[in-house]
Amino acid sequence: MQRILVLGAGFAGLWSALGAARELDELGAAARAEVMVVNATGYHSIRVRNYEADLDVTRVPLGEVLDPAGVRWIVGAVQDIDTAAREVEVQENGARRKLRYDRLVLALGSRLVHPPIPGLADYAFDVDTYEGARRLERHLAGLAERADEPGAWTVLVVGAGLTGIELACELPGRLRKIAGAAHADKVRVLLADRSAVIAQAMGGAQPVIAQALGALGVETLPGTSVLEADAQGVRLTDGRRIEAATLAWCGGMRAHPLMEKIPAPRDALGRVQVDEFMRVQGVPGVFAAGDCAHALVDGAHESVMSCQHGRPMGRYAGHNAAADLMGAPLLPLRIDWYTTILDLGPWGAVYTEGWDRKLADQGQSAKRTKRLINGQRIYPPRNGNRADIYAAAAPVIQAPPPMLAGSAEVADA
């Protein structure tokens, strides 16, 4: 029995595994090769929703999707990857074991970057992972007990990339709910970023984001970061002290550190470079997808650390790993569109098209598109039907998310 081993079951890994299982089935080779997934938890985390208030809906049990698809999976932490020996070392139930592979798909994703700012590791919260988002949720729920401390109802979000903006827009409403009538007027949310203009890179969306932040009462601190943090607050790079019971760090992502074990070229974000077939350059039998891989998605533009790219990269990586193993032709990935749909909390959302981010939609109609994406589009089929799951894993590129101006069809999705 040959083995396609997939490391990670996020957007890239889950879809790699399903894409590989589908292709083996299509080639009539399911009895000759198995697809096996190693993931740190028993869940497919819809990581993009970690800024939202309801985290219960953000995890899909792996067995719900992988079992009907005939994919074997284990919960374990990958410790080492040896591409010369074609082996991966995994910590599983307190014991280490080695797993051999015939084809390997790297899909271990990325991690929030933590620079060595004093106090950051001890006092900052984040929404990078489900566990991190739960920790923030517990902390916010406990603020009522510290209600009268200075800065109890102040949150400083640092980093105004997409994650920081989405979190900052959610927090005023969430905090006011926790604070209740007695303290709601003390709620303060600040958003700091090193760049001179908040959301500078967001093209046509930038003024919309500024408008939404203003309407939601989020104070912005451009050209500012954190110098040091403690349990009561932070000192900013401009020398100011802010009393804040909550510091949320959203300072950017870097590819999983195990990518350093792969003897292949890496980019500035630590991602291994792959060709249009998702093959890691110069390392036979190894494919990569999602945040740990750097691809040119249309021959010119670099893949973005996003589920928008991670899911199709995964489907193609899995498909091609199976095709390669069975001597079938590989399929090149080509995505000729790029969109950004950013949640702006109760204000709505903003939708941009193209790499230069032309404004396409905003407000509540863009929010309907965002709800469709977060609530439906990026989930795998959950009906246990193998044919549906394989159909969703086919190596094809979806159309861009629809614009739903005037439509009520997914208002509650």
Ligand X SMILES: Cc1cc2nc3c(=O)[nH]c(=O)nc-3n(C[C@H](O)[C@H](O)[C@H](O)COP(=O)(O)OP(=O)(O)OC[C@H]3O[C@@H](n4cnc5c(N)ncnc54)[C@H](O)[C@@H]3O)c2cc1C
Q: Select the residue interacting with ligand X from 6, 12, 55, 216 (CB under 6 A).
A: 12
If binding is defined by CB under 6 A, does position 361 make contact with ligand X?
no
The one-character DSSP state at 307 is H
* Under 8 Å between Cβ of 245 and 143: yes
Shortest distance, position 258 Cβ to ligand X, whole Å: 6
Task: Select from 35, 88, 259, 307 the one that contacts ligand X (CB under 6 A).
Answer: 307
Mask 320-359, x = binds ligand X (CB under 6 A)? Answer: ----------------------------------------
Q: Tell me the closest approach of the beta carbon of residue 197 to ligand X, in angstroms.
A: 21
The 189-228 site mask, x for binding ligand X (CB under 6 A), equals ----------------------------------------
Under rule CB under 6 A, residue 81 binds ligand X: no
**Which residue lies nearest ligand X, judged by its C-beta?**
10
CA distance 248 to 325: 45
* Comparison of 236 and 286: residue with beta carbon closer to ligand X: 286
Query: What is d(CA 320, CA 313) in angstroms, rounded to the nearest whole number?
Result: 10
Footprint (CB under 6 A) of ligand X, residues 57-76:
none
Helix locations, 327-397, DSSP H: 364-372, 386-392
Find the part of the chain contacting ligand X (CB under 6 A) among 32-40, 181-189, 237-245, 395-403. 32-40
39 belongs to the binding site for ligand X (CB under 6 A):
yes
Distance separating alpha carbons of residues 129 and 385, to the nearest angstrom: 29
* 169 makes contact with ligand X (CB under 6 A): no
Dihedral sign from CA coordinates of 38, 43, 44, 47:
negative
User: Does residue 371 belong to the site contacting ligand X (CB under 6 A)?
Assistant: no
Whichever of 24 and 55 has its CB closer to ligand X, that residue is: 55
Query: Distance between CA 8 and CA 112 in Å, rounded?
Result: 17
Residue 90 C-beta: closest distance to ligand X, Å: 7
Say whether 114 sits in a helix, a strand or coil: coil
Shortest distance (Å) from residue 243 CB to ligand X: 26
Q: Show contacts with ligand X in window 94-113 (CB under 6 A).
A: 107-110
Site residue total, ligand X (CB under 6 A): 34
- Contact between 379 and 46 under an 8 Å Cβ cutoff? The reply is yes
SS3 call for 212? helix
* SS3 label, residue 352: strand
Q: What string of DSSP letters covers 221-237?
A: EET--EEEE-SSEEEET
Which has the closest alpha carbon to 310: 286, 291, 296? 291
- For the chain, how are helix, strand and coil distributed in percent, rounded to 5? 35, 25, 40
Give the residue, chosen from 78, 136, 234, 410, that forms a contact with ligand X under the rule CB under 6 A.
78
3-state secondary structure of 98: strand
| DSSP class of 380 | P
Closest CB to ligand X among residues 233, 370: 370
Based on CB atoms, which residue is closest to ligand X, 163 or 224?
A: 163
Question: Which C-beta is closer to ligand X: that of 126 or that of 179?
Answer: 126
Residues 130-159 contacting ligand X, CB under 6 A: none
Q: What is the per-residue burial (b if ≥16 Cβ within 10 Å, else e) of 46-81?
A: bbbbbbbeebeebbbebebbbebbbbebebbebeeb
Query: Interface with ligand X by CB under 6 A: which residues?
Result: 8-13, 38-41, 45, 47-48, 50-51, 77-78, 107-110, 127-128, 162-163, 166, 256, 290-291, 305-308, 310
